[in-house]
Amino acid sequence: MAIVARRYLVRGRVQGVGFRYFVERVAASSGLRGWVKNLDDGRVEVYAVGTPEQLSDLAGQLWRGPRWSEVRGVEEQAAEVVRLDGFGIRG
- Residues classed as catalytic: 20, 38
Sort strands 70-79 and 4-13 into parallel, antiparallel or unpaired. antiparallel
Q: Where are the extended beta strands (E) located within the chain?
A: 4-13, 33-38, 44-50, 70-79, 87-90
DSSP 15: S
